[in-house]
Structure 1
Amino acid sequence: MHVVATAGHVDHGKSTLVRALTGTDPDRLEEERRRGLTIELGYAWTAWPDLGDVAFVDVPGHERFLTTMLAGIGPVPAALLVVAADDPWMPQAAEHLAALDALGVGRGVVAVTRSDLADPAPAIARATAEVSRTSLAGAPVVAVSGRTGAGLDDLRAALTGVLAALPVPDPDADVRLWVDRRFAVRGAGTVVTATLPAGTVRVGDTLADGDRLVRVRGLQALGKDVDAVSGTARVALNLTGDLDGIGRETVLTTPGAWHRTEVVDVRLRAGRDGDGAPPLTPQLHVGAADVAVRHRPLGDPADGLARLTLERALPLRVGDRMLLRDPGRRHVWRVDVLDPDPPRLRRRGAADRRATQLARADGTPRLADELARRGLAHRDRMRRIGVPVTPGDHLESGPWLIGRGLAAALADRLPALVEEHARSHPLDPDVPLTVLADRLRLPSPDLVTPLVRPPLLVVGGRVRAPGAGLPTQVAAAVDVVRRELEAAPFVAPTADRLRDLGLDDRALGAAERAGLLWRVAPGLVLLPGADRDAAARLARLEQPFTTSAARKDLGTSRRVVLPLLDRLDRAGLTRRLADDRREVVG
């Protein structure tokens, strides 16, 4: 399906032209027919042999209904700009064209209507000159009469050429539906309509409005019930679920796929009639939404960088195109979303520093640019703001991405932090990853590991610096214990012996972390590897064996053999049987 939105001055024949193209009157309200002008959004559709289904969103042309007009063109990829041959270039035509330009609508056709009432040449020349300075530059300009039908074939051919050249939206894209109408249908319940720009909606899908969830009970496209529809398309959704607050300007999205934000950093570009910066509280138009915002320039206002604070959260992504409007002066500004998840501005000069960060941003989502500004980012957050995670020179650890610049700076800090810890904890010089993550203000200790560079090592969840050994006195005492255990591997020194050597629990723990001793139990140490040696010796016994047999074979006491066998059981080297005997596993 292809979707086209009309635009143009009031009473220039937009609805008449849509009716002539589709055979359907888009004006659905009695008041619209009585007054002869469009008040609400109208819809009509048809099928053309060389193109397929074409739906038209007919928007109001009167200046009082500009907000409704913007809701109609916001999500639509192509426009039909209508001007009358028997009227001069009118203010609403200029305002609608400025809106299309600000929203970046680059595909469309200009129809010069009422060509049966006046020579269309002057209007064609003026319209061609006006659109040549906008995103619609080069659009075909066609003279037509909705009343007589003259020029309709040329208009269909021009529209067919424009629509056929539109890129095909991704059917697997995340859904974002800007609701433009809500009503009730007897026997069905709540129905909303919207233009689906991309992605696919299916019957049974769950969609989200913030924390509120709704389910698609029924789905229509072009007046027909369907099981699924992909963008671009006009859709009507029969919804069930938490429907309080669902209405026009609601945004329904794929759950968990979008970042909803009330603060967004943008670049503004004034329209041809724009003059200076926007006011403090302009109106923001995006999709079918119309939101009051607070405007704060970042850096030099002439650069167009600004922070917008929205009156309510919206799902926005890097690269979204929006429109900012000053209702008092009727000026508009193009808005390119640079960062929908910006940092807080807490200190004096923060706005100027932020402007420097964004100076080269153009609204194109690039992971390298985001990491250069953020330093650290979560993979899911990047996806929600529309930044694809692509290969690059960044580091990755689980869901976290670290920019190369930040990674280098943090890695440079690690040796000093390890050295400082070793000085403060001589018996425990190896620094836990959790401690380093806290010192580096990283959200996860897993992020520390890829930052460790030689000669630092990661051993057992700690960072070790070579040469960071035990204090001299402790090292000498440990050497004595090791020599005694080498002579009698399973005759552990008694508590009194350890106390005489000056080895308390802290010293024994440090020796174990250094790989010099193995603590079987509190106050009970053997050499590292004693568990495997014990299992190998016990395997030579008749299986299963008793505790007494193990004690005799290992040449030790019950004080040692009982906790030793317990450790062997827990390590899976031996198995304790119901009669309290054991057997070696494997």
Structure 2
Amino acid sequence: VIIGTAGHIDHGKTALIKALTGRDTDRLEEEKRRGITIDLGFTYFDLPDGERAGIIDVPGHERFIHNMTAGVTGMDMVLVVIAADEGIMPQTREHIDILTLLGVERYIIVLTKCDLADEEWLSMVEEEIREELGNKLPSDTPLLRASAVTGEGIPALKEEIGKMAESIRPRSGNGAARLPVDRVFSVAGFGTVVTGTVLNGKIVKGDKLSVYPRGLECRVRGIQVYNEETDFCVSGQRAALNLSGVDRQEIRRGCVVSAEESMRSGRRVDVRIKMLEDSSRVLKNQMRLHFYSGTSELLCRAVLLDHETLLPGESGYAQLRMESDTALRPGDRFIVRFYSPLETIGGGTVLDSDAGKEKRFSSEVLARLRLREEGSREERTELQLREHGGTMVSVEELSRELGLSRSETEDSVSVLKDCGRAEEFPVSDSIYIWHAEDERRIREKILQVIGEYLKRYPYRIGIPAAGFRNALPQKMKKKAADAYIEWLVRVGVLEKEDGLFAPAGYYPAEDEAYLHVLSVFRKEAADAGYNFRRIDDMEFGKIPESDIREIFSLFQIREEAVEIVPGVFALPEDVSEMERGIRSVLRENGKITVSEVRDMFGTSRRCAKQMLEYTDRTGMTRKEGAESERVGNL
């Protein structure tokens, strides 16, 4: 559980935390000298049930709102601190606006410095708070009185915090761990240390992680949770990570430490943005803004996609074009502030963290963004599959794009697969997913390419994979393409023989030309016996030479003919008889000569040499000694 503070400068946030925990969160000399919190302060608090909660003390001064927003990341509840002697002040309102925009739902209003006011004044201030904040905070928000000086109300506040903590659901431990960095420093003898709130998953000592948006690789050397050494930290905890492999200068507040290949870095972010009801500003297209999300602060321009301007209280779709890289996930909350003077004007939710350049007022773009915002997990998964331009995507990449854990993504894909809207393909140690319509379209394209090839070469049994790879999307990786082709064979779309592919059930033509060549060859070969004739010397009529060679290649596959040497074919039964005769001599003598083969089959020396070249090629014989001698490989 993470507890935060909010409130105007000098309303006693830091003093209240010290009264709760006994620890001072002001860590900078300037903070102690001036008596105000400038940067984030961190400590912890033991709840009544024994669980340890993190506490983040945020600055109240308007000049340090950028530090305040960084501290909101991961807060489960917030103590809205209002001094009894001053009541609600400007930063009280702005802090609550920021917290609401960033999705914080649980609050406790703490009326501090109660020792400085009488009962009548306190009651009046409480009434003012209820009236002014009633439409900003949940109706059941507790309001307690406290004094850090006298200790009044501190036990009751601890009890209320404990009750509220019980209602907080444990954060999901699924998905890639993510820690937005709010502090970074070096420790002599240890190196780089970053701190932050773990938002997802689990980080274990020894893990290999990356620092985004740059994608710097690092390893976790050590972990502290609430000042205690530990081997791991989980979602919802404040943690300090000692990292190796990265220098202090390479990391800054706003970076995100997460699992390798788990996040996307980009500069175009599609969002739903809502203007504050009481903002004094109008958001115009291409307006320059300060953007805050997680612990990051960037400059951007807002491209309004469905409005010319956004008035106070209005909301719409926009693309925020950052001036530097950022690392976000869909669903992340953000706020935007007017460029100058700095003033919070609105906020919203990230829909696509690495978007393409969107066209304004496009019905297609707006429909897609609406689906990203309002669609079910399965609908958003299907949309993301469609975004891949007809190619498949690994489950890891899909999870990264959706901002989901791998198990959540796999569950969504399983639903889509059951509905016939997705297909899965195991590839190496991953799973690749394809939208079913895209897969069917590519499958039909492949069958068309193969069909055209076999129409052009009707006597071939198939086409090599290289012959139809151009039908696959150019972006498809080779290992994914290979897996897909094998899948087509496995599910019976294609058949594979001798490395060649054809549609399932395909049988090469036995047309008139084929049957004529077969008839001529059988007669010529039978008449010639072992005085082999070249097919070039046979008369096949007007059939093109190229077709004749294709037909003889098919004869070999169908065992209608055997190629003795290039261009010379014999009947299979004659070849079998020839092999039996040569094998018999080899068994008796261990060797055979060209002359012996010539005499055995009553043929010419040329044909006898061709017979032995054939048996050399098939491995029955091999040359040894004189050119005309062979020994057996029986």
TM-score range, shorter chain: 0.7 to 0.9
Instruction: Using the TM superposition, give the Cα deviation of residue 286 of structure 1 relative to its aligned residue in structure 2, in angstroms.
Output: 1.7
* 2:204–2:232 CA contact under 8 A, matched in 1: yes
Moved more, 17-26 or 3-12: 3-12
Cα deviations across residues 233-271 of structure 1 (Å, max 9, x unaligned)?
Answer: 222223332314123222222122222233332222333
- The 1-side partners of 2:146 and 2:484 are apart by 65
1:536 Cα shift? 11
Which residue of structure 2 lines up, in the alignment, with residue 378 of structure 1?
393
**Equivalent of residue 402 in structure 1, options 417, 430, 434:** 434
Matches of 1:96 and 1:157 in 2, distance apart? 24
What is the CA–CA distance in structure 2 between the aligned matches of 1:544 and 1:356, rounded to whole Å? 84
Deviation string 1:255-297 (CA, Å, 9 cap, x unpaired) is 2222223333222233333565465322221211112223223
- Structure 2 Cα separation of the partners of residues 107 and 162 of structure 1: 8
Name the structure 2 match of 1:325. Answer: 337
Q: CA deviation at 1:373?
A: 4.6
Residue 293 of structure 2: which of 279, 286, 297 is its match? 286
Match of 1:112, SS state, is strand
Return the alpha-carbon distance in structure 2 between the equivalents of residues 284 and 432 of structure 1: 54
The change in CA–CA distance for 1:208 and 1:360 in structure 2 (over 3 A counts) is closer
**Residue in 2 that maps onto 1:93:** 92
1:378-398 superposed Cα distances (whole Å, 9 cap, x missing partner): 122112223412302311233
Q: Deviation string for 1:360-390 (max 9, x for gaps)?
A: 2227643234234545441221122234123
Q: Does 1:144 align with 2:146?
A: yes
Query: How many correspondences in the alignment?
Result: 575
Deviations 1:452-507 (A, max 9, x none): 9999644345343877855957524553477469979x979754447754675775
**CA distance in structure 2 between the aligned counterparts of 1:215 and 1:130, rounded to whole angstroms:** 49
Q: Distance in 2 between matches of 1:530 and 1:170?
A: 75
Asked whether the 8 Å contact 2:107–2:137 carries over to 1, the reply is no
Which residue is equivalent to 2:370?
Answer: 359
Deviates more, 1:202-211 or 1:61-70: 202-211
Q: Tell me, yes or no, if the aligned pair for 2:41 and 2:58 is still in contact at 8 Å.
A: yes
**Structure 1 pair 207–440 and aligned structure 2 pair: CA distance change class (3 A):** closer
Secondary structure at 1:148 match in 2: coil
Contact 2:525/2:532 (8 A) holds in 1: no
| Inter-partner Cα distance in structure 2 for 1:493 and 1:116 | 119
Q: What is the rounded CA distance, in whole Å, between the counterparts of 2:38 and 2:573 in structure 1? A: 85
Contact 1:10 1:62 in 2 (8 A): yes
What's 2:269 paired with?
264
**In the aligned structure 2, how far is the partner of 1:131 from the partner of 1:231?**
31
**1:121-142 superposed Cα distances (whole Å, 9 cap, x missing partner):** 4444454556554575543332
Q: Please identify, of 272-281 and 467-476, the stretch whose mean Cα deviation from structure 2 is larger.
A: 467-476
Q: CA deviation at 1:35?
A: 1.3
- Does residue 241 (structure 1) correspond to residue 213 (structure 2)? The answer is no
Report the Cα distance in structure 2 between the residues aligned to 1:236 and 1:531, rounded to whole angstroms. Answer: 80
* CA positional deviation for 1:58: 0.6
Q: 1:307 aligns with which of 297, 319, 338?
A: 319
- Show the 5 A alignment for 1:431-580: 432-441=464-473, 443=476, 444=481, 446-447=483-484, 457-460=494-497, 461-464=500-503, 469-470=508-509, 475-476=514-515, 478-480=517-519, 483=522, 494-497=533-536, 500-501=539-540, 508-509=549-550, 512=553, 515-516=557-558, 523=567, 548=592, 559=610, 562-563=613-614, 566=617
- Counterpart of 1:82 in structure 2 is 81
Aligned residue for 2:604? none
Once the two structures are TM-superposed, the CA of residue 14 in structure 1 deviates from its matched residue by 0.8
> In 2, Cα distance between the equivalents of 1:144 and 1:536?
108
Per-residue CA shift, 1:208-240, capped at 9, x if unaligned? Answer: 123422233332222222232223222222333
2:42 corresponding residue in structure 1: 43
Distance 1:415 1:62, change over 3 A: same
Q: Structure 1: which amino acid aligns with 2:344?
A: H
Query: Is residue 350 of structure 2 the alignment partner of residue 337 of structure 1?
Result: yes
Aligned-residue sequence identity (percent) comes to 25
The structure in which a higher percent of residues are helix is 2
Cα contact 1:169–1:231 (8 A) shared by 2: yes
Question: Which secondary structure does the structure 1 equivalent of 2:192 belong to?
Answer: strand
The question of whether the paired residues in 2 share the 8 Å contact of 1:195 and 1:233 is answered with yes
Q: Distance in 2 between matches of 1:535 and 1:140?
A: 99
In the alignment, what sits opposite 1:197?
A: 199
CA distance in 2, matches of 1:545, 1:138: 106
Shift of 1:447: 3.7
TM-score (norm 1): 0.82
Structure having the higher Rg: 2
Which runs of no fewer than 5 residues in structure 2 stay unpaired? 602-606, 625-629
Aligned partner of 1:62 in structure 2 is: 61
- CA positional deviation for 1:24: 0.5
- Cα RMSD over matched residues? 4.5
Task: Answer yes or no: is the 8 Å Cα contact 2:203–2:233 preserved in 1.
Answer: yes
The residue that corresponds to 1:296 in the other structure is: 303
User: Deviation per CA, 1:36-55, whole angstroms, max 9, x where unpaired?
Assistant: 11001111223234142122
CA–CA distance in structure 2, aligned partners of residues 94 and 305 of structure 1 = 25
Cα distance in structure 2, aligned partners of 1:417 and 1:67: 59
CA offsets 1:141-169 (integer angstroms, 9 cap, x no match): 32222222222122112211222332323
